[in-house]
Structure 1
């Protein structure tokens, strides 16, 4: 059984006949609808190309997506909405990797579809990295945003763009890169705070600081926003927690987008990245503080934790001492805060899906969820970083839902961040003006160009993985858009941990243990994190 339904092309004669009949029926239905309506106009898009939402977290590991905590015998997930509304309604890529697990290089590869050694953004600081390095290279004006904008898409960026953004004295952080119609990006200079006290570039105008960071030497977590604050402007509460503000900006931009125009929204969260100022680490929203105290650490990845035999590792690891009990405690708390900070991201996923459903645009929108890189929580005796090509840093989540994608499936097809841009371009019918290293995931694996030189044992385009030879299903032959209708989406309060999705090539959707329903409206955000959409997805 394929992840996507097979598509066969009708004969030209049959196609012409169908078009004639369809045109006649459309004309008749239009007359009847006009006669039956009482001034109510149903908005129909003149542009049937799909829209795209790319959600990218910062430093989220694969395990954190599936992390859960047992509370009174019930497994409470850290990200239940993301699993229910994207993974269970789409496809999970079990073998998704980033070639260079560091913020700027990874994010630039996603934008350009090119490896770091080809886009030449090779670090987080100038001259070869950071926003300054990015701006000095072709990637600045040749990327997914410029290509889609040239094709008629409305392009929107919200959140963290690249390290060092806003640290350029020549523009004082007012730079809006080419290709973006709407720009709401947080300044990421070293002097800028993360979750409170941050500054935004809103379409070329600096605004902020949002929220009072307080005293960074003495402040306590959980004392910023009202505990009932899910996201501004809900209930008239001015919520300044950074993730909440990003969620609200995304809702505003979606509702302000013309129904006649396809859009590309890239929502780049800072969470679960930690601030380096004291007290260091991720900062959860007030309402989520201590909600994951005692979470398993590291979740499902104990094999390499505080590794004993490191003889096969580089010298700096061989010479590293075992983690002390104090270090283990420190990173256990860090891990807990990372999970808690992701809960507001998860609520943002639900807000986006609710909003698209209320606008009747969900069925023709691809939603892509991923992370820029992982993080080390004691694996191989490593703490507090990424960069190295080990699984915790490179093996990341990739979830996609959208037209033609069969719900609740998984694939063992190898994928990378360089594949996201060409995938979107193919689905949008757009083209890049520069060469791309990645391959569209919307194409059959056998038809993709090779990304490396052939070897003596494997010619170009030959099956690239033993997993595929063992019977794991590759990504299907085409992602042609197919309108489908299924039951209303519901987000669970708790489910199983979800790790089974990563252990087999095909899974069934996880069933929520409980759910509630409410109406979603495109004119105002849903009433809070507990509501669920009532539209058909």
Structure 2
């Protein structure tokens, strides 16, 4: 009797075991997501309609917010092109990865997120602008712009071979990225594609079809366009004023022998790169503007406002082709059954001033430069219409992508994965972010500085070539017009912010000694 029961139970156990083994063997392994990382250059969050809508419409970039998430507090660690890209790749602050400014060297031999993904089985590609000298490492395929690249008829370097493409850079970059997806990647492997646009970087040369995008529209400048910088010594000495420093020929396309221009030679060289057919469209648009400008003879405040409007027309028109490219990419994913399992991120290498404080460019830790657009979709984990208010930085991209790819994040990576934050699984996140800027002496004369931002306050130390502090109440003064440093009403907050600054600097390994070391390096050059 006992023997019969044991045999029966043994058979049942064997059947159960076979069922389990069969289920395991038949179950499909969880697919690791594809990742498309789209980074434009100098795209201000103010010029994305998902954030604002008062300046322009970007329906395709907006799709990422509608179908996924929009980050209201996305920031950079160093608001300048090449260092920002190095931070994105390495997940480490500039003073750790070595790329502190646009001129310092970058060691491609160090680890980066593309290497990590490639080593774990991803196929990797880099297309468009990277602005970091040297042969890119970690990519199975690359086709990149040398340096800043050109808007029209750009050169590209494809796996070491340089060649010129006739046409418009933004469209060409999109075409190259799509060609890699369609024809060059291995269909049985997950992929990581970095797809970077040159636009809307200075000198804002729109595609021919968008030259007349906004017609005769007059843009209203920000309320602080005529800022006098009272109480802000660092801002007083800037060299990025639309009125004072934006060049009529180089920046605003007024290519005419009668118009005075400091950088006329550069402006004419950009024009001369156009084909004869491209020049016809260009001249048809700009020649009437040139003649009208000469006839009006603008001066003073009127000239400042005229420059601002010409800047806005060209800058916003340059963005429209970027938005087209995003739409083309999203359509491709949907048409090829890739949308559900592909993470798509859109961001910029930093923010940009669109007339705030009377400026163009970036570099300062003030909000429009420090803050960057960030939108992301991944249907498998991110609910459509998600809004993220946590303080996220470009420092966090590498960790986040490795997390999604199920890769153990190296201990020396300083960024944190925001995967659980954006999915809503966790609200455990940092309470302060850290910023550094080093390129002084340099273009636009922005002093070296570092600082921290919390959800309510910002503390900045401009330490070279002078020594001044600034603090702002970001709830009451988002435009940063009132420096409250040493204001008795904020004495306790100031003390807390200093303590937090020291805590964050220690956490990331920064110090006054490192600051002085980098200053000495510049002096030697």
What interval of TM-score do these two structures reach, taking the shorter chain for normalisation?
0.5 to 0.7
Distance 1:369 1:18 in 2: 47
1:101 equivalent in structure 2? 79
1:246 aligns with 2:246: no
Deviation at 1:297, TM superposition (A): 3.9
1:396 aligns with 2:372: yes
1:66 aligns with 2:49: yes
Residue 21 to residue 99, structure 1, CA distance change in 2 (3 Å): same
1:470 equivalent in structure 2? none
Residue 144 to residue 68, structure 1, CA distance change in 2 (3 Å): closer
Please point out which of 50, 53, 56 is paired with 2:36.
53
Distance 1:288 1:22 in 2: 60
Residue 253 to residue 332, structure 1, CA distance change in 2 (3 Å): same
Deviation at 1:379, TM superposition (A): 1.9
Please point out which of 405, 410, 416 is paired with 1:428.
405
Please point out which of 237, 246, 269 is paired with 2:197.
269
Distance 2:19 2:127 in 1: 44
1:177 aligns with 2:133: no
- How many residues end up aligned between the 2 structures? 361
Structure 2: where are the runs of 5+ without partners? 1-14, 244-299, 435-453, 458-477, 479-525
Please point out which of 204, 208, 214 is paired with 2:160.
204
Distance 1:388 1:424 in 2: 28
Query: Is the Cα contact below 8 Å between 2:170 and 2:321 reproduced in 1?
Result: yes
Deviation at 1:289, TM superposition (A): 1.3
Deviation at 1:466, TM superposition (A): 6.2
Distance 1:66 1:379 in 2: 18
Distance 1:181 1:196 in 2: 27
Deviation at 1:446, TM superposition (A): 5.7
Distance 1:76 1:61 in 2: 11
3-state DSSP class of the match of 1:420? helix
Residue 298 to residue 186, structure 1, CA distance change in 2 (3 Å): farther
2:394 equivalent in structure 1? 417
More helix by percentage: 2
Q: Which moved more, 1:361-370 or 1:197-206?
A: 197-206
3-state DSSP class of the match of 1:347? helix
3-state DSSP class of the match of 1:443? helix
1:187 equivalent in structure 2? 146
Query: Is the Cα contact below 8 Å between 1:140 and 1:177 reproduced in 2?
Result: no
Distance 2:225 2:153 in 1: 35
Distance 2:242 2:212 in 1: 28
Query: Is the Cα contact below 8 Å between 2:219 and 2:312 reproduced in 1?
Result: yes
Distance 1:186 1:339 in 2: 22
1:442 aligns with 2:369: no
3-state DSSP class of the match of 1:88? helix
2:69 equivalent in structure 1? 91
Residue 345 to residue 449, structure 1, CA distance change in 2 (3 Å): closer
Deviation at 1:25, TM superposition (A): 11
Deviations 1:427-448 (A, max 9, x none): 1012455611111101356656
Deviations 1:451-483 (A, max 9, x none): 889xxxxxxxxxx7469xxxxxxxxxxxxxxxx
Residue 432 to residue 140, structure 1, CA distance change in 2 (3 Å): farther
Deviation at 1:313, TM superposition (A): 1.1
Distance 2:195 2:88 in 1: 13
TM-score (norm 2): 0.62
Distance 2:401 2:16 in 1: 32
1:160 equivalent in structure 2? 129
Distance 1:327 1:68 in 2: 26
| 1:465-504 alignment, distance < 5 Å | 465=455
Query: Is the Cα contact below 8 Å between 1:147 and 1:433 reproduced in 2?
Result: no
Please point out which of 120, 129, 135 is paired with 1:151.
120
TM-score (norm 1): 0.61
Deviation at 1:176, TM superposition (A): 3.1
Structure 1: where are the runs of 5+ without partners? 1-15, 31-44, 166-174, 212-239, 275-280, 454-463, 468-501, 503-537
1:532 equivalent in structure 2? none
* RMSD of aligned residue pairs (Cα, Å): 3.4
Deviation at 1:159, TM superposition (A): 0.4
Distance 1:436 1:296 in 2: 46
Deviations 1:293-338 (A, max 9, x none): 4556467xx2332224x22212551798994432332232122211
Distance 2:414 2:39 in 1: 20
Deviation at 1:183, TM superposition (A): 0.4
Deviation at 1:354, TM superposition (A): 1.4
Residue 318 to residue 121, structure 1, CA distance change in 2 (3 Å): closer
1:459 equivalent in structure 2? none
Distance 2:357 2:329 in 1: 38
3-state DSSP class of the match of 1:158? strand
Bigger Rg, which one: 2
Deviation at 1:161, TM superposition (A): 0.7
3-state DSSP class of the match of 1:407? coil
| 1:11-30 alignment, distance < 5 Å | 20=19
Distance 1:319 1:103 in 2: 18
Q: Which moved more, 1:329-338 or 1:418-427?
A: 329-338
Deviation at 1:414, TM superposition (A): 0.9
Distance 2:79 2:60 in 1: 26
3-state DSSP class of the match of 2:346? strand
1:4 equivalent in structure 2? none
Residue 68 to residue 388, structure 1, CA distance change in 2 (3 Å): closer
